[in-house]
Structure 1
Amino acid sequence: MINEIQDLLQLCKDTGITIWVENNKLKYRAEKDKIDNDLLKKLKEEKENIIRHLKENDNKTVLDGFRLTPIQNAYLIGHSSDYELGNINAHYYTEYSCNNIDEKKLQRSINEVIKNNEALRTVIHPSGVQQVISDVPEFELKTVKLDSEATLNEVRKAWYHHRYQLGNWPMFHFQVSKRDNDADILHFSFDCIILDAWSAQKLLFDIFKIYKEETVSWPAFTFREYLQQETSYLKEDKSWAKAEEYWEEKLKIIPECPKLPFKKQLSLIEKPHFNRISYKFTLNETEKLYAKLKKYQFTPSALVCTVFMKVLAYFSSNKNLTVNLTLFNRLPLNREISKVLGDFTNIGLASYFHNENIHFLEEVKMIQQQFWKLIQYRNYDGTRLLKKLSANKLGKAVMPVVFTSMLQGKLEFDEASDFREVYAISQTPQVVLDHQARDDNGGLALSWDYVSDAFDYGELKNMFEIYIEQIKGLIESDCWDTPVFIKENREHS
């Protein structure tokens, strides 16, 4: 009987049908036309045996399935080639250098974090259900010996755009590269459908703390419980109606996305491949910038986003434009919510209206006011905005330029950490350019992740250099009252 049930469940898995137990009832989810009458009849006949088997499976106990968030669902849809700039998963890859990594110690640290965080034991199914596995095998940390920079590039190439198979665990990967004459490298890859950027950062910090034999406190609250409580919370959220009204009016007037000088039509890019261009300001430069921001009462995110959009407008054929903003929204459903790992991502929209007659300070103020509105209405599902904008543009990437900021406006140092980030890159479906800003151990770090087939590298590099020069100009300027004028650097390297 056990073998028959296992064969039946395997058939369902192979057919793309997700089976789970919810409130002692057998549930299934399948794509249209994936389940025939004979299979459905068999599932009904064996219902009690299947429920018993799933509950008694000691090796891989699967907890009740639960819904995806709107962003998780958007990432899942992005796997399809039916969408412009689709056919990829949302993915992040990073490398940390550290002298003489103790692989056994690091493996224990990683498994300790896996054991105490459901997000790292989560499986996403193609049918749109996620499940947590309570007992998973110990994660084995692979170690390779590097003999050259070329070998490092081979390891990087294998993981920096890795596509994890839906329905399988794990949806992340750690690996160590050992080097004789240089620091070792920790490679970390994960599918963003299980973790947002804040969660990934906390995950790594927890691993590094355990590695240093420091204590980490684990939350009793989980992402699964968060989603269960979120539904009832949002039903009672009185700001939803106001948010709906705000966005309905805003959608009537917002400009389109930037019309940048793409070298290839976005719809002709079959599988986007992302590269990164980046710059990090010194501690002294960052301190000077943050001091001026405090004087003018601006947030770092508002300033950086304003400069970013001004540069986009300079190169775009439409001078009024809108960008997609990444939001990290954790509702206050539990006092331990800041410790919970998961994908809490939401999105919003911010617009720039070109006007040569207003001062730069006024431009930043206008962007910051939009940011405050986004915070005020952060519970509103931002994917609804994109659906409305794409109503008559089926499959089109309507807002493919993204601004992502993790800036907090304070200089943080972790001199005690043995690990230092040395490389990172991300990719997201239906995105052509993703601006990322963060505080990197005392320095403001800015990067653009971009679809390489969409841009002429020389032109993009020129755009980025002009962008950095504008911020350097603000750092050195004694007064921001006068407009900031962009001077194009025509020397392409």
Structure 2
Amino acid sequence: MKNLTPMQAAYWTGRQANGFLGNVAAHLYVEFDCGNLDPQRLEKAVLKLYETHEMMRMRITSDGLQLIGKIEESFSFEAEDLTGSDADVLDRYLADKRAHWTCRTLDLASGRTAAFGLSVLPGGACRLHVDTDMAAIDPPSFCILMEDLARFSEDPQTGIEMGNSSYFDWLERKNSDADLAVRQAEDKRWWQDRLAELPPAPNLPEAPMSQSVHSGRLAAMLSPEERRSLTRTARELRITPSALMLGLFAAVIGEATGDDRFRLNVPMFWRAPYTANVERLVGDFSNILILAADPAPGEALGSLCIRLAERMRDLLAHSSYPGVNVMRDLSRARRSLQTAPIVFTSGLDLPGRDLFSERVSRVFGPMSWAVSQGPQVALDAQVAAMSGGILINWDIRYDALPEAWINATFDSYVALARRVAQDPSALGKPAFTREATAGDACRYTEGMLRELLSRLAPETGAQGPEEIRKHGLSDADLTDLVAFLNRYIPDMNLTREDIGPATTAASFARVVRTRSAGASEKVGRAYLEAIDVRDRASVEAQPAE
């Protein structure tokens, strides 16, 4: 038995934590649209996969330890013959299956770290379903599994290549590394000196309250030509393509949220060479870097990309202290749960290969769906090399983010990446296109909301609790507030459920401004000016002392 790594422990506790963005497994679900596959042959290939990689049999005990179980307890493969289904029934069934597998939670206590399914479709086609839990199988490990599964499927006579060491061997050598322990202590002190400077999580607009998890994805492909252009541009800036795409992402998030300072969660998957065959191991090698992003209005995009790349180098140099521990230290320092709900993951700098090999594409066809979930994650933005181009894939918690807002933000990111690919001189333009600063973006909307709250709950005053529902308002008061906004601001369609338990005047102002396409700022300004005129008239009407 082995102790869980800090990242594994965070995954394990996060899947059991109730509350906002909790109670979900950290997992990756992928579908491939295949040609005609033999279910029995594929099942034997999957079995060989379990025999090859022991972390597919990993089990977590009730006291939080991990051990390797038996194949018969962990093996999970199902094949369904859907060849007799008509088109409408088949489409509904596959959509329901996708929704179920997207939000499923594999039973790690029973050793179920992966699940495989094959849907045999009419016309000689198949769909391969693969779900893996990140506590045992990180994203690079998923690619290793798919490569081996393709080998075993293509040639059933292929022997099992057992390495000289296992993930547990790697973990034991890492935990006994005295030099690493020294670096961890040094990096902990480095982080302690900087905790106070870490910016808050991005101020995200809230979706209407929902009792169920609803995850989905948005995806776009940049062409090979666009990828080559972005790679050349990154080289000219003396940064990596990943750093370039990260800088563009930070600019778009700053624009969309109105924040000029926020933190991002940037995963890394460095495999320290503690064993000779480390690149063939399946396991969880992940760590997270907590990046402070500050895309100031007026700063050129290229300058922002370079600054964040330099900051990432500093973070990598001090990554011996796990990012999970950094967030725990931050929560203790600020006496409240601190999160980093926006994740940026890049696979662009993998040495010399696309996300999946030519063999995987040949055997299983194109990847037609991919989505990941993770506790305390509202958006996981990913960029990866695929088919010579760049796959941009955003995994989204639609129960946490408004669909209109996330769609607009995604479109802005893709458009910005294409614009830079087509015209690198765009990097000389400001990161923010708006004239107002981040703090001014919702000034009049927020001022109007605070004024309305102070009138609905006079005892709390205009500077009352940040959370709207802590003002002591009744359901009728909230209904009146929503009705007022819908009446005077066009096309709002707000409901009382838009005001969740954690909704603040500032975050609700951003929702109102976004849905009204900025019209709320004009309404808010007119409202506050009218209040000011009325209050001055009231004062002037008072008799002199």
Per the shorter chain, which TM-score range? Answer: 0.7 to 0.9
For the residues of structure 2 that align with 1:289 and 1:157, how far apart are their CA atoms?
A: 35
- Identify the residue that residue 527 of structure 2 maps to in structure 1: none
- Identify the residue that residue 98 of structure 2 maps to in structure 1: 156
- Identify the residue that residue 239 of structure 1 maps to in structure 2: 183
Q: Deviations over 1:130-167 (max 9, x none)?
A: 11025536946321133322221122233221112342
Structure 1 residue 486: Cα displacement: 5.4
Structure 1 residue 365: Cα displacement: 1.1
For the residues of structure 2 that align with 1:151 and 1:163, how far apart are their CA atoms?
A: 20
Structure 1 residue 481: Cα displacement: 5.2
Amino acid at match of 1:118: E
Structure 1 residue 288: Cα displacement: 2.2
- Identify the residue that residue 369 of structure 1 maps to in structure 2: 310
1:334 aligns with 2:270: no
For the residues of structure 2 that align with 1:270 and 1:229, how far apart are their CA atoms?
A: 44
- Identify the residue that residue 183 of structure 1 maps to in structure 2: 125
Q: Is the 8 A contact 1:234 1:379 kept in 2?
A: no
- Of the three residues 58, 68, 72, the one matched with 1:122 is 58
- Identify the residue that residue 347 of structure 2 maps to in structure 1: 406
Residues 311 and 234 of structure 1, relative CA distance in 2, 3 Å threshold = farther
**Would you say how many aligned residue pairs link Structure 1 and Structure 2?**
425
- Structure 2-normalised TM-score? 0.73
Q: Is the 8 A contact 2:212 2:399 kept in 1?
A: no
Amino acid at match of 1:340: L
- Identify the residue that residue 48 of structure 2 maps to in structure 1: 112
- Of the three residues 269, 272, 275, the one matched with 2:216 is 275
Structure 1 residue 405: Cα displacement: 1.5
For the residues of structure 1 that align with 2:431 and 2:416, how far apart are their CA atoms?
A: 8
For the residues of structure 1 that align with 2:61 and 2:389, how far apart are their CA atoms?
A: 39
Structure 1 residue 233: Cα displacement: 0.9
Amino acid at match of 2:389: G
Structure 1 residue 260: Cα displacement: 1.9
- Of the three residues 447, 452, 465, the one matched with 2:411 is 465
Q: Indicate the SS of the match to 2:196.
A: coil
For the residues of structure 1 that align with 2:60 and 2:338, how far apart are their CA atoms?
A: 24
Q: Deviations over 1:196-241 (max 9, x none)?
A: 1111111111111222226664322111112222111155544334
Give the % identical residues: 24
For the residues of structure 2 that align with 1:373 and 1:354, how far apart are their CA atoms?
A: 18
- Identify the residue that residue 307 of structure 1 maps to in structure 2: 248
Structure 1 residue 392: Cα displacement: 6.0
Q: Indicate the SS of the match to 1:195.
A: coil
Structure 1 residue 329: Cα displacement: 2.7
- What aligned pairs does 1:64-83 form with structure 2 within 5 A after superposition? 65-83=1-19
1:250 aligns with 2:194: yes
- Of the three residues 194, 207, 224, the one matched with 2:168 is 224
For the residues of structure 1 that align with 2:107 and 2:250, how far apart are their CA atoms?
A: 36
For structure 1, list consecutive stretches of 5 or more residues without a partner in the other structure: 1-64
- Identify the residue that residue 5 of structure 1 maps to in structure 2: none
- Identify the residue that residue 418 of structure 1 maps to in structure 2: 363
- Identify the residue that residue 284 of structure 1 maps to in structure 2: 225
Amino acid at match of 1:449: D
1:94 aligns with 2:30: yes
Residues 411 and 475 of structure 1, relative CA distance in 2, 3 Å threshold = farther
For the residues of structure 1 that align with 2:169 and 2:279, how far apart are their CA atoms?
A: 14
- Identify the residue that residue 153 of structure 2 maps to in structure 1: 211
- Of the three residues 411, 432, 435, the one matched with 2:381 is 435
Q: Indicate the SS of the match to 1:252.
A: helix
For the residues of structure 2 that align with 1:475 and 1:449, how far apart are their CA atoms?
A: 23
- Structure 1-normalised TM-score? 0.80
Residues 451 and 478 of structure 1, relative CA distance in 2, 3 Å threshold = closer
Q: Is the 8 A contact 2:217 2:394 kept in 1?
A: yes
Structure 1 residue 256: Cα displacement: 0.9
Amino acid at match of 2:116: F
Q: Is the 8 A contact 1:103 1:141 kept in 2?
A: no
For the residues of structure 1 that align with 2:76 and 2:194, how far apart are their CA atoms?
A: 50
Structure 1 residue 79: Cα displacement: 2.2
Structure 1 residue 99: Cα displacement: 0.6
- What aligned pairs does 1:52-71 form with structure 2 within 5 A after superposition? 65-71=1-7
For structure 2, list consecutive stretches of 5 or more residues without a partner in the other structure: 435-513, 518-545
Structure 1 residue 66: Cα displacement: 1.4
Mark the structure with the bigger radius of gyration.
2
- Of the three residues 393, 402, 423, the one matched with 1:456 is 402
Amino acid at match of 1:469: A
More helix by share: 2
For the residues of structure 2 that align with 1:226 and 1:411, how far apart are their CA atoms?
A: 25
Q: Deviations over 1:423-458 (max 9, x none)?
A: 011110111111112112322111211211222211
1:325 aligns with 2:269: no
Structure 1 residue 67: Cα displacement: 0.8
For the residues of structure 1 that align with 2:335 and 2:38, how far apart are their CA atoms?
A: 51
Residues 357 and 218 of structure 1, relative CA distance in 2, 3 Å threshold = same
Residues 234 and 377 of structure 1, relative CA distance in 2, 3 Å threshold = farther
For the residues of structure 2 that align with 1:88 and 1:483, how far apart are their CA atoms?
A: 40
- Of the three residues 165, 173, 182, the one matched with 2:115 is 173
Q: Indicate the SS of the match to 1:379.
A: coil
- Identify the residue that residue 455 of structure 2 maps to in structure 1: none
Amino acid at match of 1:151: Y
For the residues of structure 2 that align with 1:411 and 1:76, how far apart are their CA atoms?
A: 31
- Identify the residue that residue 206 of structure 2 maps to in structure 1: 262
For the residues of structure 1 that align with 2:76 and 2:180, how far apart are their CA atoms?
A: 45
Q: Indicate the SS of the match to 1:391.
A: helix
Q: More displaced, 190-199 or 128-137?
A: 128-137
Q: Is the 8 A contact 1:85 1:397 kept in 2?
A: no
For the residues of structure 1 that align with 2:128 and 2:32, how far apart are their CA atoms?
A: 5
Q: Indicate the SS of the match to 1:142.
A: strand
- Of the three residues 391, 405, 408, the one matched with 1:445 is 391
Residues 236 and 404 of structure 1, relative CA distance in 2, 3 Å threshold = closer
Structure 1 residue 404: Cα displacement: 1.4
Amino acid at match of 1:356: P
CA RMSD of aligned residues (A): 2.6
Q: Indicate the SS of the match to 1:453.
A: coil
For the residues of structure 2 that align with 1:373 and 1:216, how far apart are their CA atoms?
A: 41
Q: Indicate the SS of the match to 1:343.
A: coil
Residues 478 and 387 of structure 1, relative CA distance in 2, 3 Å threshold = closer
Structure 1 residue 168: Cα displacement: 0.7
Structure 1 residue 170: Cα displacement: 2.3
Structure 1 residue 121: Cα displacement: 1.2
- Identify the residue that residue 7 of structure 1 maps to in structure 2: none
